[in-house]
């Protein structure tokens, strides 16, 4: 019997990223308005996706020749609208799909975060998530008046305390606190709403929350820590882990590692779904898909500067300051450690230039390409090998045609094979996520 798996979309900020690609229409003028996001959310809901994860970073890249020029000129991770606003609009336009904005712990005081995510859970009828990130750039830190980001592992220590506090705020309202008893005239039972008096090493809050309880109790926590410390954190707290891992054997090893860590924390490993980043190429036929792939690879090879700028942004390394024709040397980062480790491993003895050209950062976890039926079959095989739990699509050319390829091509092909749900069984996001 085939086993269904889960699907999510990694929405990289604004659809304006696809500007200049075919089928993007008037996106340069319309990206600011919500219509495209809402069409995307509705389409993926009709396709029965589990969730949309809204990526975020709160700064413009500056890690290429010490300038913002290349980032702005090419729209690399900019513009980025506030994800909580986009998430709220998506919640209003849908009824079943999970909505997961990225909110960084260094940027939001815990009380503000707990209230924001609980409110999103309320207005969406129990479909909110939170992609919990700890930040990766001093440029972002400076936008918040900080001199620099805290050291990588310490950020996770702080995040352990942060989530403990946020959990307590979410629990500060007993689920039955809202009485609304017309006879006694009591709306809320004050004995079921508790002050938390949290005084930690890094954060404090008195509580209780003033927005009332979240329908899910605890909205869904998404996390992507890829370093050993990051995995330890994610396996302790997350309901879904998003992972960028190359190749089915490594994906299996990653998932096994996370599941073993969960058992170590006394958790049921089936209570967290590991979603692997992939960039499927869908077309009418395998030949068409291969042509798209070849074109994309050729464009990438011509765009070494863009790759360096992208990699530089998330590792805080200005590659233009290094010798492009020498081995890459021992690079370190206080940003995304896992990505830099992957880059170093892939580089081996290559020069920096060769390493950049050959490095694939597009989330090509495994190659998925061809007709909808081809891709559905490939996804089934990969999941069989990995053991579960699903895929997170990262699409460099997200536009309405891509959405139709998924909704009207891939989803029915997966459903025919019993690899994807045909309807949502539950009201709440977590219940759907944990259904299988
Ligand atoms: C699929 C995926 C999505 C991510 N989204 C974001 C994001 O939106 N914002 C952000 O600052 N970091 C994001 N990250 C980075 C993670 O928060 C984390 O820094 C990264 O996975 C490396 O883990 P490490 O810091 O433990 O090495 C994402 C990572 C992955 C794999």
Q: What are the pLDDT digits (tens) for 219-233?
A: 999 999 999 999 999
Question: Which residue's CA lies nearest to atom 25 of ligand 1?
Answer: 336
Lowest mean pLDDT of 70-84, 188-202, 247-261, 309-323, name the range.
309-323
* Both structure tokens of 10: 């990694």
Is the model's pLDDT at 362 over the cut of 60? Answer: no
337 lines ligand 1 (CB under 6 A): yes
136 lines ligand 1 (CB under 6 A): yes
Q: Span 399-427, mean pLDDT?
A: 97
- pLDDT reported for residue 361: 55
- pLDDT reported for residue 212: 97
For 245, other C-beta atoms within 10 Å of its C-beta total 22
Lowest mean pLDDT of 146-155, 261-270, 332-341, name the range.
332-341
Distance in Å, CA 225 to ligand 1 centroid: 6
Higher-pLDDT residue of 115 and 315 is 115
* Proportion of the chain above pLDDT 90, given as a percent: 78
Cα dihedral 200/204/208/210 (nearest 10): -150
Question: Which residue's CA lies nearest to atom 14 of ligand 1?
Answer: 224
Which atom from ligand 1 is nearest to the alpha carbon of 392?
1
- pLDDT reported for residue 57: 92
Q: Where are the beta strands (DSSP E) in 76-229?
A: 98-104, 129-133, 178-181, 186-188, 198-199, 204-205, 220-223
Which atom from ligand 1 is nearest to the alpha carbon of 135?
11
Q: Do residues 424 and 432 make contact, with C-beta atoms less than 8 angstroms apart?
A: yes
Listed residue (330, 12, 337, 317) closest to 156, CA to CA: 337
Q: What is the pLDDT of residues 155-192, one digit of tens each?
A: 999 999 999 999 999 999 999 999 999 999 999 999 99
Please tell me the CATH code under which domain 6-171+199-285+364-433 is placed. Answer: 3.20.20.30
Beta bridge partners of 226: none
Binding site for FMN: which residues?
Answer: 56, 102, 152, 156, 227
Q: Which sign does the torsion angle of CA 286, 287, 293, 297 carry?
A: positive
Is the model's pLDDT at 363 over the cut of 60? Answer: no
Q: What is the pLDDT of residues 71-103, one digit of tens each?
A: 999 999 999 999 999 999 999 999 999 999 999
Binding site: which residues?
Answer: 56, 102, 152, 156, 227
Higher-pLDDT residue of 225 and 47 is 47
Counted residue by residue, the chain has a size of: 436
Q: What is the pLDDT of residues 275-298, one digit of tens each?
A: 999 999 999 999 999 999 999 888
Q: Do residues 106 and 141 make contact, with C-beta atoms less than 8 angstroms apart?
A: yes
- pLDDT reported for residue 364: 67
- pLDDT reported for residue 297: 86
Is the model's pLDDT at 263 over the cut of 80? Answer: yes
- pLDDT reported for residue 328: 86
- pLDDT reported for residue 208: 98
Is the model's pLDDT at 210 over the cut of 70? Answer: yes
Share the mean pLDDT of the chain: 94
Q: Which sign does the torsion angle of CA 148, 153, 158, 160 carry?
A: positive
Q: Span 57-79, mean pLDDT?
A: 94
DSSP code, position 407: I
Higher-pLDDT residue of 12 and 172 is 172
Is the model's pLDDT at 237 over the cut of 70? Answer: yes
Lowest mean pLDDT of 11-20, 91-100, 292-301, 326-335, name the range.
11-20
- What ranges do the domains of the chain cover? 6-171+199-285+364-433, 286-358
**Alpha-carbon distance 349 to 332, whole Å?**
17
Q: How far is CA 257 from CA 43, 206, 254, 344, 363, in A?
A: 34, 37, 5, 21, 20
Higher-pLDDT residue of 412 and 344 is 412
Distance in Å, CA 224 to ligand 1 centroid: 5
Lowest mean pLDDT of 208-212, 214-218, 314-318, name the range.
314-318
Mutate to test the pocket of ligand 1, among 143, 274, 336 (most ligand atoms within 8 A of CB): 336
Beta bridge partners of 362: none
Listed residue (264, 372, 133, 15) closest to 380, CA to CA: 372
Q: Do residues 155 and 105 make contact, with C-beta atoms less than 8 angstroms apart?
A: yes
């Amino acid at each position: 019997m085939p086993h269904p798996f889960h699907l999510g979309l990694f929405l990289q900020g604004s659809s304006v990223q696809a500007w200049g690609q075919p089928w993007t229409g008037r996106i340069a003028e319309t990206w600011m308005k919500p219509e495209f996001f809402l069409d995307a959310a509705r389409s993926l809901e009709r396709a029965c996706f589990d969730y949309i994860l809204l990526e975020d970073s709160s700064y413009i890249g500056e890690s290429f020749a010490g300038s913002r020029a290349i980032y702005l000129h090419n729209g690399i991770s900019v513009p980025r609208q506030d994800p909580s606003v986009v998430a709220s609009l998506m919640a209003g336009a849908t009824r079943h799909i999970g909505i997961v904005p990225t909110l960084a712990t260094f940027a939001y005081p815990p009380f503000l975060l707990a209230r924001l995510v609980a409110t999103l859970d309320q207005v969406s009828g129990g479909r909110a998530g939170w992609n919990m990130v700890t930040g990766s750039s001093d440029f972002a830190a400076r936008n918040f008046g900080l001199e620099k980001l805290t050291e990588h592992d310490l950020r996770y220590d702080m995040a352990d305390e942060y989530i403990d506090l946020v959990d307590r705020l979410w629990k500060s309202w007993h689920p039955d606190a809202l009485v609304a008893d017309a006879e006694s005239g009591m709306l809320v039972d004050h004995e079921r709403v508790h002050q938390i008096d949290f005084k930690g090493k890094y954060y404090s809050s008195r509580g209780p929350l003033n927005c009332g309880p979240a329908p899910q109790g605890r909205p869904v926590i998404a996390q992507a820590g890829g370093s050993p410390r990051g995995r330890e954190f994610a396996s302790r707290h997350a309901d879904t882990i998003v992972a960028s891992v190359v190749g089915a054997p490594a994906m299996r090893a990653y998932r096994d590692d996370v599941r073993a860590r969960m058992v170590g924390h006394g958790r049921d490993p089936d209570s967290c779904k590991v979603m692997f980043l992939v960039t499927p190429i869908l077309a009418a036929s395998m030949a068409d898909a291969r042509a798209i792939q070849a074109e994309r690879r050729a464009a990438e090879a011509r765009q070494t500067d863009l790759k360096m700028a992208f990699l530089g942004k998330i590792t805080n390394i200005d590659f233009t300051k290094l010798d492009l024709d020498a081995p890459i040397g021992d690079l370190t980062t206080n940003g995304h450690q896992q990505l830099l480790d992957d880059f170093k491993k892939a580089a081996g003895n290559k020069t920096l230039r060769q390493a950049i050209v050959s490095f694939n950062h597009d989330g090509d976890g495994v190659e998925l390409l061809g007709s909808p039926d081809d891709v559905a079959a490939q996804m089934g095989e990969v999941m069989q090998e990995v053991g579960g739990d699903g895929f997170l699509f990262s699409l460099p050319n997200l536009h309405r045609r891509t959405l139709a390829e998924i909704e009207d091509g891939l989803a029915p092909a997966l459903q025919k094979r019993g690899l994807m749900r045909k309807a949502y069984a539950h009201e709440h996001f977590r219940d759907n996520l944990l259904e299988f």
